[in-house]
Amino acid sequence: MFARGENLNFQFKNISFSFAALMIKGKKLAIVLPAYNASATLEKTYKEIPFDLVDEVILVDDNSKDSTLDKARELGIKHIVKHEVNRGYGGNQKSCYQKALAVDADIIIMLHPDYQYTPKLIESMAYIIANDVYPVVFGSRILGKGALKGGMPIYKYIANRILTLFQNILMGQKLSEYHTGYRAFDKRIFEKIDIEKNSDDFIFDNQMTAQIFYAGFDIAEVTCPTKYFDEASSINLKRSSIYGLGVLWVSIQYRLQKWGLGNFRIFSKK
């Protein structure tokens, strides 16, 4: 009568009922929150998650120096993973996806807890995957001019466009951007690629994207408004420059691998 995995609570005295999320098309949906010093924005992000659709929420704290963990516990987040040492953005994601797969999630959506991306797109992104339209969905800040409207610094916008152009040329794709942190995945992706071979730093996202394309999967995009404010996470100009060079190198590796002129670790079979 009810879908697998649902949690039902009844309170007959007050004649009230509360139901946990029913699965989307019989698929279990998990939201992963890679957190670092996110105490100021975590609650606002969490409260916009559509819990009528979401089965599990997982927060991985990358050794934050603020009260992120206390706030997560206060909100009642069921699955909390704490790194005893800071592993970096990529290392955080590795723990996020490992935990999501461990709780048998069929669809996994990464949502940054800094409230830069709206949780209100979770439903749209999840249904694209649940209906087997695409196995991966990115929330794009570039489609619909969401980045500039949301306050993205102009130098970051220009760098984003230049990097994306080169990446599309080298990888033979047509994404509007490769640098979004709002991403949804079918669990089958993780059966074909090995994210443990990727960096623990910010370049992780682009290495994973390259792996997905190399494995033969397609990526859909949805227009995503974004917000830039003091509490939102960001990296400085020096790290941005290092990241940009790393992005280009990943794209070059992809092209060389496709031409049979390279044998790079991230593209080796799982």
Q: Give the torsion sign (CA, 243, 248, 251, 252).
A: negative
Among 109, 78, 86, 75, CA closest to 35: 86
The span from the CA of 183 to the CA of 10, in Å, is 35
Q: What was the pLDDT predicted at 232? A: 47
> In this structure, how many other beta carbons lie within 10 angstroms of the beta carbon of residue 192?
15
pLDDT of 12? 37
Nearest one of 9, 67, 60, 63 to 30, comparing CA atoms: 60
Rounded to an integer, what distance in angstroms lies between the CA atom of residue 146 and that of residue 49? Answer: 20
For residue 8, what pLDDT is reported? 43
Distance, in Å, from the CA atom of 240 to the CA atom of 234, rounded to the nearest integer, reads: 9
The DSSP 8-state label assigned to residue 163 in this structure reads H
Distance CA 92, CA 72 (A): 16
Task: Read off the pTM.
Answer: 0.87
Cα-trace Rg, the chain: 19
156 vs 5: CA distance, rounded Å: 43
Task: Tell me which long-range contacts 145-153 makes (C-beta under 8 A, separation of at least 24).
Answer: 146/223, 146/224, 146/225, 146/226, 147/226, 149/225, 150/225, 150/226, 150/227, 150/228, 151/227, 151/228, 151/229, 152/226, 152/228, 153/228
Domains of the chain, CATH where assigned? 24-267 (3.90.550.10)
Determine the Cα–Cα distance for residues 100 and 59; give it in Å rounded to an integer.
Answer: 10
Alpha helices, DSSP H only, in the chain?
A: 42-47, 68-75, 88-102, 122-130, 146-149, 154-171, 189-192, 204-214, 237-258
Residue type, 228: Y
Alpha-carbon span 79 to 69, nearest angstrom = 11
Predicted confidence pLDDT, tens digits, the chain (270 residues): 334 444 444 343 443 333 445 678 999 999 999 999 999 999 999 999 999 999 999 999 999 999 999 999 999 999 999 999 999 999 999 999 999 999 999 999 999 999 999 999 999 999 999 999 999 999 998 887 666 666 777 877 888 889 999 999 999 999 999 999 999 999 999 999 999 999 999 999 999 999 999 999 999 999 998 776 555 455 566 777 888 899 999 999 999 999 999 999 999 877
Q: Tokens 């989307």 — which residue?
A: 24
**Token output for 264:** 């790079």
Strand partners, 108: 30, 185
